[in-house]
Structure 1
């Protein structure tokens, strides 16, 4: 989610001193959360004319589960690398669809009056996103450490939703916090300050959109059985807002090119596709400049729908092609089965929308990120990336040293992705499925 900063600065007096907490149920120096996959239908859109870009409606959302307060109250929030503040309790009645409203009501609420450790900061602020917004009241409370019955991250500042619009869940913003975009510690900052992690680095493997296992985020660590090959190191670029070096810090990476590999193995690369790209788990679709959007439309023979999305036959999900994103020497090949989503029973669309503006910039959302394993290192301002695979679990602690992630190699063979995300609709075209299997094993 692309966050609009408030025009004023928030100044907080944090309660208590940073604590060095012992770990219980997790490996020392890291803390991991399962990434939950929550599906909702794109039907019954709440618009006056019922015409809206379906790509803006999250049919698949990636969330983490937090336990906040004393006693702990269970809430779920969207995992969002595109923003940097944590808040809970959305206004469910304003969700974009009835299905999302149902999911919202079932995702848990934080009731401040029910927590003995709640502190009201007395500050209210509006946060705007690419879609929707939230008016929040800032609070301080404890967050229970996963795997522990008693240990908690103390005195964490976060927001409680007062009034939100078009948001089905609260937001777990894990972008740059104190000293970059905020005047208080966000969740990433507190994990490091209170001794849970050895660095302000974390890794994410979202998991395939058809995977039943979900994904994982590891604060302070990496899972070497969630990717293949080596991790490639990139600079976290400074703010890239309309060509300016000012603005909020986010996870910008230099993208070298975009292209496609067709089901019959014909490869092509698009001209003028070198540009900065934002890695944003809070964005369902990816946003690319109009000329790349048009090229993908041509290569997929897609139909531009009234709602702005690119419709393709659902049978294409089972075909063995890829959309290819290159960064330096690394190419992340996103299978059709991950780049195409089924939004309605008979409606499938590419996971892309055009990005408007005078400068070539890309936003790489979930339609790209579920095929990548990414380490976000705020301590050293680096990003590390490899192709996502899932062949088990082997969590390793990351130190704060520069390039520490380069010492870790993925343990998965490239072909093992087949078993992690077999498309549910391959039965539409069984013969195509066979070709898809062989292509992934190459």
Structure 2
């Protein structure tokens, strides 16, 4: 009975990607200001909102209640229409208006709607569109049950970014705003399985990093920020932080030297396992460090065929090939469930990082992941009148097995500080920490590896805000990520696991599925058009983080 319940829970867990505990419309936007060549915006984690659980419901709702994901709020059009989008380094498009009517649960449907919907007719900018069409699939190709698909039409309207700054907290102005003119984005017109709009930060699957110089049909957000003079380099840094932290941040065109320890290790970006452009790297080894165990260090060196890993902020759980994953499960003493998830003792979550961690060797850096981030609690949403006892609490490992593209998701990325550099095709990696704020802009030609973090090892904490840095070795290879579905399968398509598997956008008169009239010429014009748009579009982060599995 317990196994059957877990199987059902897995289905629920992978159902919807982003469900905020607070409606986006009720959240105050953080103060921000355009930086001097960069834009820093806070990032928050949101958890799915569910009714209070009773002990009898625990197994049935296990994973559904632990979903979280990282989001930003954006305003589109004039006046700005507030929409919450998932921050995703696993796909390239910005798209909004998921099909909330396809969600069965009334509570989850309400949360989907709370993320906001964009109405082109309500914008006085005015909006342009539809100007093209695209079909996008999300999922793990090794498991057909995980695949979901959406259809989008392209529009263009103004975006106002709020939350970016280059000041200390005390110096932030009250109403800063940065406008991106004529930004192209997708509006969902068909499909199901997605409950959260997405802001993609990865290169176009066809055009790659060259984008506008190749066959990319329109400017992605990062390109637009450079083209319109808002940042000096196609780079952004990501500080997701621990699940219990108040907020992290994304810095477009810059980084924060007070959010990491030691040096930034430059790691070449590589294509995914199918040769498609990805924010992927090569990883060398994984090690479960348990000093008090009979085998204190359990290191597994990856085979050449299993070194490719994609860095995906849109996925809560990480995904590794069988041998590497099972080596970790064995070292942690995790118990397999037939749904593909592994349970682990909740007591391991409280082990200090000095005593226990899961380490990932990447180039000359070892990224140490605290057990509090790598092992996730399953039962945080009990009804107050029916709380679980210590023996009834359940926890699971933030890792599942895949036969396809390997993914380092939020369960691992939270422990690191990542600077993604499109122009130089590198990602710079350091151990995350938090010792204040020192934002700096980066521009073409800058040597990011020469920048040292201001945090010392003493700032390292076992709560995911940072740990000591060590040396090691590593790299990686793979492709795909599921998003929101409703079947009991760890590889199921859920909003948190969302690798884009469809070809690049069809922004011409024809597309992979449908076509948009005159799309090619219109989108081409939008590349260079920065006409005066009056819209006040706000991009901010919600007050709660999201669980993307």
Q: Are positions 1:333 and 2:368 aligned together?
A: yes
Query: What is residue 15 of structure 1 aligned with on the other side?
Result: none
Match of 2:270 in 1: 237
> Quick check: which one's strand share is greater?
1
1:338 and 1:195, CA in 2 relative to 1: closer, same or farther beyond 3 A? same
Distance 1:391 1:343 in 2: 30
SS of the residue corresponding to residue 79 of structure 2 reads coil
Q: Deviations over 1:239-295 (max 9, x none)?
A: 432xxxx33x11111111111101527122114355121111111111101112211
**Kept in 1: contact 2:49–2:111 (CA 8 A):** no
| 2:461 maps to which of 393, 407, 418 | 418
Contact 2:38-2:231 within 8 A present in 1 as well: yes
Task: Give runs of aligned pairs for residues 50-69 of structure 1, distance below 5 A.
Answer: 59-69=67-77
Q: Return the TM-score normalized by structure 2.
A: 0.66
CA distances 1:24-83 after superposition (whole Å, capped 9, x unpaired): 823210112111110116899xxxxxx999779871110011121111111110000010
C-alpha displacement of 1:165: 2.2
2:428 counterpart of 1:398:
no
Report if the CA contact (8 A) 1:33-1:65 is conserved. no
SS of equivalent residue, structure 1 residue 176 = coil
CA distance in 1, matches of 2:341, 2:225: 39
RMSD: 3.0
Cα distance between partner residues in 2 of 1:273 and 1:54:
33
Match in the other structure for 2:397: 350
What aligned pairs does 1:7-156 form with structure 2 within 5 A after superposition? 25-40=33-48, 59-95=67-103, 100-117=108-125, 118-130=127-139, 131=146, 132-146=148-162, 151-156=178-183
Query: Helix, strand or coil: the match of 1:228?
Result: strand
2:321 corresponds to which of 289, 308, 316 = 289
Greater relative contact order (CA < 8 Å, ≥ 6 in sequence): 2
Among 264, 269, 273, the residue aligned to 2:292: 264
How many residue pairs match? The answer is: 390
Structure 2 CA distance, aligned partners of 1:112 and 1:396? 36
2:516 aligns to what?
Answer: none
Q: Quote the residue 2:220 is aligned against.
A: 186
Q: Deviations over 1:331-353 (max 9, x none)?
A: 00101000011133533110101
Say which of 166, 187, 195 aligns to 2:229.
Answer: 195
Q: Which residue of 2 aligns with 1:279?
A: 311
Q: Superposed, which structure 2 residues align to 1:203-214 within 5 Å?
A: 203-211=237-245, 213-214=246-247
Give, in whole Å, the separation in 2 of the partners of 1:161 and 1:221: 32
Give the secondary-structure state (helix, strand or coil) at the position aligned to 1:198.
Answer: coil
SS at match of 1:125: strand
1:228 to 246, 261, 266: 261
Number of the residue aligned with 2:279: 251
TM value normalised by structure 1: 0.81
CA contact (8 A) 2:291 2:297 kept: no
**Cα distance in 1 between the residues matched to 2:105 and 2:285:** 35
> 2:491 is matched with which residue?
none
* Inter-partner Cα distance in structure 2 for 1:42 and 1:300: 30
Q: Per-residue deviation at 1:98?
A: 5.5
Structure 2 gap segments, 5+ residues each:
1-31, 53-58, 140-145, 164-174, 381-392, 471-549
For structure 1, the residue ranges without an aligned partner over 5 or more in a row are 1-23, 45-50, 423-436
